[in-house]
Structure 1
């Protein structure tokens, strides 16, 4: 399988990605971008310094100047690109993947993502060509810059706590260990209880993927034991955050998007809120009720960021735990969303769970994964079976019966994963019984059982 993915470049070290390929990718990126300077950061994995160095040399071979940002969370790298007014930037990371993986998240100016549709395929063609290009006569320069202080000052603009709160969080030994403790030093009103805040690219405690509920068990226990007002779980490169309420319940990220969207619209009436099509129907309902414009988009950060720019939307969110902010170069940031949520809790006389209950009237499966050999055929089978439904092919197939104005409605989306060899299903209804029955029905039609986790 190719290491050149829909949104980034990712593979195992050293069999799929080694220093030689990293250098060639760096050169291909330089030839593709054609402008200086380029900011390059890296995560905490053991091979990351070697791969970063090789990538940087490749960029310099192409004649572009490089700013080495060193150890860097992905949100910190996005900030560096915007703050330094760089022509582009790359973080050397494999996000939440296991320790043997390494990769590259690629950007243009203003942290605009480079995806398969607008650059990664061209970079792949250049990087894997049989003949490696020779370095240009005037290689690019190299300097080292630490933007940590400036990054913290930027994120703190979102801090507006009205009372002290107790926060339990789990960094999963990932890049939140690098930035979040420094942020907390400047937030005296937060009493923090932390788990796994030692940088360790081996991920010795659990996988750095908070979407997998098995990875939330330790955090849920800590929330209950410490009496925390909320819990927050970060992923490996700290661009995603998932939430647990004070009762220890894992909360869907679409519900968090809805909660924060209500607050955004109170200060910017009529604004667009961008969300992905897997989200609960409560989200567009509440955005409309708040005087906003809900804009549905296909799954993937490159699509949502582009749509946010189109609408100049102040905020957007994905079910995956990516949250996007206009005043952060339309990029995702786990610490900004966490501060945004904590601000709301601090202003409310209700516990977090009560605030959320008001936004959870419906019943959802969450995202369910299936391994299917012929994914397109499976999507077509579902489409044909429910031919009398309202259908939408924005991303895979979305099938809907009824609407929230009437009882017994339900919808399902079935789509191919952009990052794994899986089909992903989300199904929701206003009725628990309908949700359960339709879930069973869809799986029987497809002839599949869900994957674990």
Structure 2
């Protein structure tokens, strides 16, 4: 049996050769065998193959003796929410997020929506799939569970509704599932929503919902300008990531969103800890300190950030890849809470989104993540370390290589999934220095790659 759909953090593969109902049924049985779960939340995204795979998965869960609570078509974060909110033993979301439309996958959690990844059960589930199964003495029950109203109530709890003012917001669901939540939230908010690619459609008539791809940003940016909107928001297919555009239609790098959200959240909580990734840090450190919080660095990746947030009891965690985590959301990532907080900030401050962001870009200009295909990544990173650690203020290995000088710093790390090295460079209020050092590092990487 082809088990190549099992990845480091979740399952993803082509339908039907890498993931199909037969395998999904066995995965359901294996999940119960390994976790011992008795009550499991199941939800699925808008992909055409999702209902059939979910049905097979549910059959396997029930055959192994677990009760299935089907929350239907939803986003990944609703599975996280329902699992923790209703005190379930676990949850499984059938989704391939922003992968091509002929793919599907699963994201799994245990009690309190703790992630199940390769180092804490996912590999065991994969190995168990290959062994024979006997039906449980008592089959599990199946019931549907309506979670949208409790979920929307929870989302609205993050903002002060009284401080909101009417404004126009462009929202682009990319024909994924986010539009369904916007339609529910709309009834409680004074905003006018301009809805782009709004209807859920697993055929993806406007391309796969992945706003990180520059070609997928135009529709949102154009609508912001056309309608004079205060901001634009775009989501990936299962809407656990959200992306922002200012009132000029400019796409905002995720790094600056992390700082803005940390600042807004700490203003509400009056301090607390914030977890961030090591790729770009200075802007976040500056804003968190000014807001009376404490910034803590964690290795990149949702399983690492969520665990570190639990360990530190952090109120918020952010990655520049547009994943934002909240303590009161079972330490999970949400694509809905961030835009509500930023909309609230615009209403309270009377400032435009561009003015809030421009000051931060000026203070800490950054290269954005640059990917290079490298034949021997460890060799190249070791050579860069040897050269640049001379005279450096600090060298850190929390995630890849981070080297810091007085006025600039960089992070260089290997991809977990491909022979790619990812570079991020930032400076203190010196765009020309940042650009020069970025170019210098890229040339050095190219030279080392050829040797």
TM-score by length of structure 2 reads 0.93
Deviation at 1:421, TM superposition (A): 4.8
Is 1:401 the counterpart of 2:405 in the alignment? Answer: yes
Query: Which deviations, in whole Å up to 9, do the C-alpha atoms of 1:70-115 show, x marking residues without a partner?
Result: 1111111111111221011010000111101100000011211111
Secondary structure (helix, strand or coil) at the match of 1:143 reads strand
Q: How does 1:58-97 map to 2 (within 5 A)?
A: 58-97=60-99
Q: Work out whether residues 26 and 55 of structure 1, in 8 Å CA contact, stay in contact via their aligned partners in 2.
A: yes
Aligned counterparts of 2:258 and 2:435: Cα–Cα separation in 1: 25
Q: How does 1:343-358 map to 2 (within 5 A)?
A: 343-358=344-359
Query: Which deviations, in whole Å up to 9, do the C-alpha atoms of 1:36-86 show, x marking residues without a partner?
Result: 200010011011111111111222222211111111111111111112210
Structure 1 counterpart of 2:427, from 426, 429, 440: 429
Unaligned runs of 5+ in 1: 403-408
Is 1:52 the counterpart of 2:54 in the alignment? Answer: yes
For 2:145, the equivalent position in structure 1 comes to 145
Q: Work out whether residues 25 and 123 of structure 1, in 8 Å CA contact, stay in contact via their aligned partners in 2.
A: yes
Aligned counterparts of 1:436 and 1:207: Cα–Cα separation in 2: 32
Aligned counterparts of 1:93 and 1:387: Cα–Cα separation in 2: 42
Aligned counterparts of 2:106 and 2:436: Cα–Cα separation in 1: 42
For 1:248, the equivalent position in structure 2 comes to 249
Query: Which deviations, in whole Å up to 9, do the C-alpha atoms of 1:3-55 show, x marking residues without a partner?
Result: 22221111111111111211222111111210220001001101111111111
For 2:16, the equivalent position in structure 1 comes to 14
For 2:192, the equivalent position in structure 1 comes to 191
Aligned residues: 441
Aligned counterparts of 1:291 and 1:227: Cα–Cα separation in 2: 35
Query: Which deviations, in whole Å up to 9, do the C-alpha atoms of 1:125-174 show, x marking residues without a partner?
Result: 212x2x33222232222111121122112112124343111101110001
Aligned counterparts of 2:396 and 2:202: Cα–Cα separation in 1: 41
For 2:385, the equivalent position in structure 1 comes to 383
Aligned counterparts of 2:444 and 2:103: Cα–Cα separation in 1: 36
Aligned counterparts of 1:162 and 1:99: Cα–Cα separation in 2: 37
Q: Work out whether residues 304 and 316 of structure 1, in 8 Å CA contact, stay in contact via their aligned partners in 2.
A: yes
Aligned counterparts of 2:235 and 2:419: Cα–Cα separation in 1: 24
Q: How does 1:89-168 map to 2 (within 5 A)?
A: 89-127=91-129, 129=130, 131-159=131-159, 160=161, 161-168=163-170
Secondary structure (helix, strand or coil) at the match of 2:207 reads coil
Deviation at 1:376, TM superposition (A): 2.4
Unaligned runs of 5+ in 2: none
Aligned counterparts of 2:151 and 2:111: Cα–Cα separation in 1: 17
Aligned counterparts of 1:46 and 1:234: Cα–Cα separation in 2: 19
Query: Which deviations, in whole Å up to 9, do the C-alpha atoms of 1:252-294 show, x marking residues without a partner?
Result: 2221221122222223334101111123411111211222100
Deviation at 1:295, TM superposition (A): 0.6
Of stretches 259-268 and 272-281 in structure 1, the one that deviates more from structure 2 is 259-268
For 2:298, the equivalent position in structure 1 comes to 297
Of stretches 371-380 and 83-92 in structure 1, the one that deviates more from structure 2 is 371-380
1:13 to 1:378, Cα distance in 2 relative to 1, 3 A: farther
Deviation at 1:177, TM superposition (A): 2.2
For 2:441, the equivalent position in structure 1 comes to 442
Aligned counterparts of 2:447 and 2:64: Cα–Cα separation in 1: 49
1:255 to 1:65, Cα distance in 2 relative to 1, 3 A: same
* Runs of 4+ that moved beyond 6 A: none
Deviation at 1:243, TM superposition (A): 0.5
Aligned counterparts of 1:359 and 1:263: Cα–Cα separation in 2: 14
Deviation at 1:420, TM superposition (A): 4.7
Aligned counterparts of 2:416 and 2:229: Cα–Cα separation in 1: 36
Aligned counterparts of 2:379 and 2:43: Cα–Cα separation in 1: 41
Q: Work out whether residues 381 and 446 of structure 1, in 8 Å CA contact, stay in contact via their aligned partners in 2.
A: no
Of stretches 289-298 and 266-275 in structure 1, the one that deviates more from structure 2 is 266-275
Deviation at 1:382, TM superposition (A): 2.0
Aligned counterparts of 1:261 and 1:213: Cα–Cα separation in 2: 26
Q: How does 1:212-231 map to 2 (within 5 A)?
A: 212-231=213-232
1:328 to 1:246, Cα distance in 2 relative to 1, 3 A: same
TM-score by length of structure 1 reads 0.93
Query: Which deviations, in whole Å up to 9, do the C-alpha atoms of 1:198-223 show, x marking residues without a partner?
Result: 11122221331122232211111111
Q: Work out whether residues 37 and 88 of structure 1, in 8 Å CA contact, stay in contact via their aligned partners in 2.
A: yes
Q: Work out whether residues 396 and 415 of structure 1, in 8 Å CA contact, stay in contact via their aligned partners in 2.
A: yes
Secondary structure (helix, strand or coil) at the match of 1:79 reads helix
Q: Work out whether residues 280 and 425 of structure 2, in 8 Å CA contact, stay in contact via their aligned partners in 1.
A: no
Q: Work out whether residues 27 and 62 of structure 1, in 8 Å CA contact, stay in contact via their aligned partners in 2.
A: yes
Structure 1 counterpart of 2:29, from 14, 21, 27: 27
Structure 1 counterpart of 2:171, from 169, 172, 175: 169
Q: Work out whether residues 98 and 203 of structure 1, in 8 Å CA contact, stay in contact via their aligned partners in 2.
A: no
